[in-house]
Amino acid sequence: MTSQLHPFGVFCAALTPIHADLSPNQGAFVDHCRNLIAEGCTGVAMLGTTGEANSFSVAERKSLLEAALAGGISPHQLLPGTGVAAITDTVELTRHALATGVSTVVMLPPFYYKGVTDDGLFAAYAETIERIGDDRLRVVLYHIPQMSAVPIPLPVIERLRRRFPTTVVGIKDSSGDINNMLAMIERFPGFAVLTGADPLMLELLGKGGAGAITATTNIAAKDLAFVFRHFNDAGRAAEVDAAQARVVAARARVSRFAQMASLKALVAEKTGDEGWLRMRPPLMPLTQEERATLLADRALAA
């Protein structure tokens, strides 16, 4: 399966394991990335919402990207998040990614100020891209209004596509609103629309979408990757349906309690490394009781 869209595939919104001192555990992170690739992920969207990116400083983020590359993950397999509240920091993080050989980044809008105008949102992205000033750059916009509280409206995307047609290549839409995703596919030919909600990937692919960047992939990479590879293969429809059902079940399983903490608990169980349970405040691990309930929930295990 090939596509003119970029990025195109199943990308894991990777968790970030941390040490007892709350600093990123680079070794465990690299191992996790390798496993995700081995299980069939097209690549790793590191340092997104699920990766607790905005709980880390610019220096911590740069260092983790360098560790992933030093650990053998190809720059073409990495989609680091680089969008932060201050456009100067977004520029710094993105330039750093480009300097390491990574060309495609996932970019949140500045997320402190709410109710910003379309002009202001456009200006923030345009100023950032112009400051970076690098033709290699490929930007995936990041629409996650329930967390950023700064939605990216279609008219802003249209203006960005017109001004930066080879740079603003796609969007991660974590709104869960399939109609918004389909509207972008229809309105912006060649624009890569990736869902942040695992269960929607199958439908989206059938309608011209570019894949998924999702959190559940941390525990269900094989199934997501299978759905992605074979969604259009009539001969394997039953297998695709079964894999899709497991994806839906896995997502339901980690949605009972706090999702990110639940994912970390499941990776901790899989790896046997309880260090995976840790989260940097303000996020918190599951309580012992929640964790026990989650782990006992074998009926929904992927």
Which residues sit at the interface with a copy of itself, rule CB under 8 A?
A: 22, 49, 54-58, 60, 84-89, 92, 109-114, 116-117, 119-121, 123-124, 127, 146-150, 280-284
112 is a catalytic site residue: yes
Place of tokens 């995703």: 181
Selecting among 172, 195, 214, 222, the annotated active-site residue is: 172
Q: Which strands make up the sheet holding 192-195, listed edge to edge? A: 43-44, 9-12, 211-214, 192-195, 168-173, 138-143, 104-107
Cα(122)–Cα(128) distance, integer angstroms: 10
Catalytic residue among 88, 112, 270, 287: 112
Residue 240 CB, nearest approach to a copy of itself (Å)? 34
Bridge partners of residue 106, in order along the sequence: 81, 140
Out of 94, 104, 142, 222, the active site residue is 142
End-to-end CA distance of the chain: 26
CA distance 28 to 17: 7
Closest approach, Cβ 287 to a copy of itself, in A, equals 9
Cis peptide before 24 (omega within 30 of 0): no
CA distance 84 to 89: 7
Taking the least distance from each CB to a copy of itself, the nearer of 201 and 260 is 260
SS3 content of the chain, % helix, strand, coil (to 5): 50, 10, 35
142 is catalytic: yes
- Between residues 24 and 43, which has the closer beta carbon with respect to a copy of itself? 24
Q: How far apart are CA 192 and CA 292, in angstroms?
A: 39
Shortest separation between residue 206's beta carbon and a copy of itself, angstroms:
32
Q: Which residues of 92-102 are buried (b: 16+ CB within 10 A; e: fewer)?
A: bbbbbbbebeb
State in angstroms the smallest separation of the CB of 126 from a copy of itself: 8
Please tell me whether the peptide bond between 7 and the residue prior to it is cis, using omega within 30 degrees of 0: yes
172 is catalytic: yes
Q: Which of 16, 42, 49, 50 is catalytic?
A: 49
Closest approach, Cβ 34 to a copy of itself, in A, equals 26
Contact at 8 Å (CB) between 267 and 15? yes
Token digits of residue 264? 């970390």
**How many angstroms separate the Cα of 215 from the Cα of each of 41, 86, 190, 227, 234?**
12, 25, 25, 16, 27
CB of 234 to a copy of itself, least distance (A): 42
113 is annotated as an active-site residue: no
Positions annotated as catalytic residues are 49, 112, 142, 172
